Amino acid sequence: MRPTATTQSAGTGRRITFLVALAVFAQEVTWNFYDAQVPPLLTAQLGSAAVVGLLMGMDNILGVFVQPWIGSRSDNTRTSWGRRMPYLMVGMPLAAGIFLLIPFAAASLPLLVAVMFGYALVVNSFRPVAEALVPDFVRPERRSRANAVVKIASALTIVVAAVLSLLVVDDHPTGAFFIPSAMMLAAVLVLGCTVRDSRSPGYQAALAEDADPSSAGSGRIRARDAMRDILRDSDRSRLLVILAIAAFGGAWAASRSLVTPYGMNALDLSRGEAGGLTLVSGIAYILLAYPLAMLAERVGRLKVILAGMGVFCAALVAGTVLQTQLGTIVALSVAAVGAGGFIINAAVVLWNLAPSARVLGTYAGLYNVSWAMGGFLGPTVVGAMVDVTGWRLMLVDVALVTLLAIAIVSRILVLQGRRAAPTTEGNS
């Protein structure tokens, strides 16, 4: 019996999901290894932790400008290979090559900073492009589970980067950089041999809109045009989703980046013990990411997002009440599961609110920029709150920031309830 079109589409969606997960895995391995091993290279030549932090945050600043632009540019690209693959086939090998130069540039601070800038610039130029393959190929109703697989792959890179740091760096400080680079080159080779996004439903829909002069989406769309459309829309759902992503991104980043000093100051742990507080939470996140995606597709993504943030808040408050090492590990693990409800589904909600298949790359870039801005501002805001409340209430401070995101998502649900359109639940 011949397979139906639905079966073929589902099979293609699963294959593309795992290929995109491979691309993200290769990219994030280099990023996590970069975050772990470049700061020591900088501190060897700099006496200021603030300057080191500024240089390490350079990728977030670049991403704010580069990612929406490159996402929009890929949306408007038309080749026999599609609109995403040309950027991946050029960007990933180039990023791998620049990454290899980092340990060789370490002897000169200006050269090291230049190589860091080049690496951050190139990687930011294909990060949203790889992620946009998911909505290009996968139907809206199945995007949560596809994005869950991608997020699991991203989470696994933290473990891989940590293993490389533990087992390879001390004996082979230069050679260790070759392993993540080789992973990226292997991934781009597999992608180049297997993916033609010119065959994706998203690309075909964009071509159909291009050919229809009466279509509202005809003509070239720029990133600023897409953002202007969002700002001018009387229905504020898209803008509110972007704000919620920034707000919760800030809470999540603060909960991760400040947990080591929290453990040292509030729980009297050693630096190593405090740094290990999030290990179990990472495993919990990986194990429950896919079930959370399935649940979201059944009951509604916004409902799972809202419930997940509620669990995140409650767990952090409980962790403050049960302020022991074990209590904190359990609280952070429950909080990570709640956060998964947001992290897995927020990008999908934004993709599904896009007015056209022609702007999916732009919307992928907007998601990444919003998350990065939250990651940049969140730890600063929570850190200022800690200066007032003290380290013992740090988890509560993070929960307070999360309440802002909860309020925003609640407003989105109210707006969608007022519209009461038949397609609302399918788009959220």
The whole-angstrom separation of Cα 36 and Cα 275 is: 13
Q: What is the pTM of this model?
A: 0.75
The range of the structural domain enclosing residue 279 comes to 223-427
Query: In terms of pLDDT, which residue wins out, 371 or 358?
Result: 371
The whole-angstrom separation of Cα 56 and Cα 145 is: 32
* Total of domains in the chain: 2
Tell whether 85 is covered by a domain: yes
Tell whether 216 is covered by a domain: no
Do 327 and 388 fall within a single domain? yes
Return the pLDDT at 111. Answer: 94
Do 170 and 231 fall within a single domain? no
Return the pLDDT at 1. Answer: 41
The whole-angstrom separation of Cα 424 and Cα 353 is: 10
pLDDT band at 132 (very low <50, low <70, confident <90, very high): confident
Do 180 and 260 fall within a single domain? no
Q: Which two tokens stand for residue 253?
A: 């980043």
List, for residues 379-403, the tens digit of each pLDDT value.
Answer: 888 888 888 888 899 999 999 999 9
- Residue ending a domain, among 211, 234, 266, is 211
Do 197 and 55 fall within a single domain? yes
Q: Are 195 and 85 in contact (CB under 8 A)?
A: yes
Do 384 and 275 fall within a single domain? yes
Return the pLDDT at 20. Answer: 79
Return the pLDDT at 251. Answer: 92
pLDDT band at 84 (very low <50, low <70, confident <90, very high): confident
313 φ, ψ (degrees, to nearest 5) = -60, -50
Return the pLDDT at 49. Answer: 56
- Residue 77, classed as helix, strand or coil, is coil
Radius of gyration of the chain (CA): 21
Which has the closest alpha carbon to 97: 187, 193, 185? 185
Query: In terms of pLDDT, which residue wins out, 315 or 13?
Result: 315
Do 156 and 295 fall within a single domain? no
Return the pLDDT at 395. Answer: 94
Helices (H), 213-352: 223-232, 237-257, 259-266, 271-275, 279-299, 301-321, 325-352
Q: Which residue pairs from 106-114 have beta carbons closer than 8 angstroms and sit at least 24 positions apart in sequence?
A: 106/41, 106/44, 109/42, 109/45, 109/46, 112/41, 112/42, 112/45, 113/55
Give the domain CATH number at 391. 1.20.1250.20
Return the pLDDT at 422. Answer: 46
Q: Are 267 and 332 in contact (CB under 8 A)?
A: no
Do 269 and 292 fall within a single domain? yes
Tell whether 218 is covered by a domain: no
Do 100 and 228 fall within a single domain? no
Residue 138's Cβ-count burial label (10 Å; 0-12, 13-18, 19+) is: buried
Let me know the angle formed at the C-alpha of 63 by 59 and 69, rounded to the nearest 5 degrees.
150
